[in-house]
Amino acid sequence: MDKPHPSRWWRFSVNGTIRFATVAALFAIILVPERVNCASLSAAEARRIGKKIWQNECNGTVSGLTSWNSGENFASLGIGHFIWYPTGQRGPFEESFPQLVQFMRDRGAKLPSMISADRTVPCPWKNRSEFLSAQQSADMKQLRQFLADTIDLQSQFLVRRLEAALPKMLDEAGPADRPAVRANFQSLLESSQGCYALVDYVNFKGEGVLHSERYQGQGWGLLQVLEQMKNGSNLPVEEFSRAAAAVLRRRVANAPAERNEQRWLAGWLKRVNSYTRD
């Protein structure tokens, strides 16, 4: 099989175009013979998706770009509330802020002085109390301004994460489920609203491939939603929204009682319901 031509891979530029042509290459790699007709996202469309996710995570506020939720052991930063663990802290959820920092560094962003050249630098605040006490500190203000100034790059990072999701999900899915996962993923890519749903959900709840991100053996990521979708729907975005709501309800039902995840369910359902609205 011919290798995908480099020009088909994703191109990220604030003033350029972000194309989903890379997904066609991914499908070729996994031996799908047909050519995939994917939607393309302009830089403006990618920015629009990023701003919708910013609204979902932070109510579109600059102050919300630096958050630490009650009951969590990590900071949630940027428009996607990317996770950043302090020293000695880890959890079942994937840490994504260091990945974002590396992505922006690679694209020439001027980083705040508090972020080391080492992408593994831990969050400097040890806990939520310390984080909240530092809200008006020079470091926090610098970090918040940096995040406010790099909305486009964060949007590009969110789209990039989706690029990497498909092969991971196909590797994790059972052989019998792979065709449906692939087909459902493809059908969503064919509209800008479907692209928004995919980009938002994979940032919101992950790819669904980590076994640490499961309760009672059942995950809640993008893979599980694609598996939950009914095959061949003429309204893929609406079906994705329905399936996502079912997966999130299952997560809450399976969650340890002490996490009290029922408190978040209404907001989660409101978010996935937004996928069907422009």
Does residue 190 fall inside a structural domain?
Answer: yes
CA-CA distance, 232 to 195, in Å (whole number)? 18
- The total domain count for the chain is 1
pLDDT at 116: 65
Q: Could you list the residue range(s) of the whole structural domain that residue 193 is in?
A: 6-276
Does residue 60 fall inside a structural domain?
Answer: yes
pLDDT at 205: 92
pLDDT at 25: 36
Does residue 154 fall inside a structural domain?
Answer: yes
Does residue 214 fall inside a structural domain?
Answer: yes
pLDDT at 125: 94
Tokens of 119: 């992408």
Does residue 199 fall inside a structural domain?
Answer: yes
CA-CA distance, 196 to 48, in Å (whole number)? 9
Do 47 and 159 meet the contact criterion of CB atoms below 8 Å apart? no
CA-CA distance, 56 to 227, in Å (whole number)? 24
Does residue 1 fall inside a structural domain?
Answer: no
CA-CA distance, 17 to 152, in Å (whole number)? 12
Do 122 and 85 meet the contact criterion of CB atoms below 8 Å apart? yes
- Identify which of 224, 226, 209 has the alpha carbon closest to the alpha carbon of residue 171: 209
Does residue 116 fall inside a structural domain?
Answer: yes
Q: What CA–CA distances, in Å, run from 220 to 14, 75, 189, 201, 207?
A: 32, 21, 20, 10, 9
Q: Measure CA 74 to chain center.
A: 17
Q: Measure CA 64 to chain center.
A: 17
Q: Per residue of the chain (278 residues), what is the pLDDT tens digit? A: 443 333 333 333 333 443 433 343 333 333 333 333 334 567 777 788 888 888 888 888 999 999 998 888 999 999 989 999 998 888 778 888 999 999 999 999 989 888 865 656 889 999 999 999 999 999 999 999 999 999 989 988 888 888 889 999 999 999 999 999 999 999 998 888 898 999 999 988 989 998 989 999 999 999 999 999 998 888 999 999 999 999 999 999 999 999 899 999 999 999 999 899 87
| Phi-psi sector, 202: left (phi>0), alpha (psi -120 to 50), beta | alpha
pLDDT at 117: 57
Does residue 102 fall inside a structural domain?
Answer: yes
Q: What CA–CA distances, in Å, run from 64 to 61, 98, 229, 236?
A: 5, 19, 32, 31
Q: How many other C-beta atoms can be found within 10 angstroms of the C-beta atom of residue 28? A: 18
Q: How far apart are the first and last CA of the chain?
A: 40
The DSSP line for the chain is -PPPPGGGS----TTSEEETHHHHHHHHHTT--SPP---EEEHHHHHHHHHHHHHHHHTT-SGGGEE--TT-SSEEETTTTEEEPBTT---SSPP-HHHHHHHHHHTT----TTS-SSTTPPBS--SHHHHHHTTTSHHHHHHHHHHHHTHHHHHHHHHHHHHHHHHHHHHHS-TTTHHHHHHHHHHHHTSHHHHHHHHHHHHHH--S--TTSEETTEE-SHHHHHHHSPTT-S-HHHHHHHHHHHHHHHHHHHS-GGG-THHHHHHHHHHHHGGG--
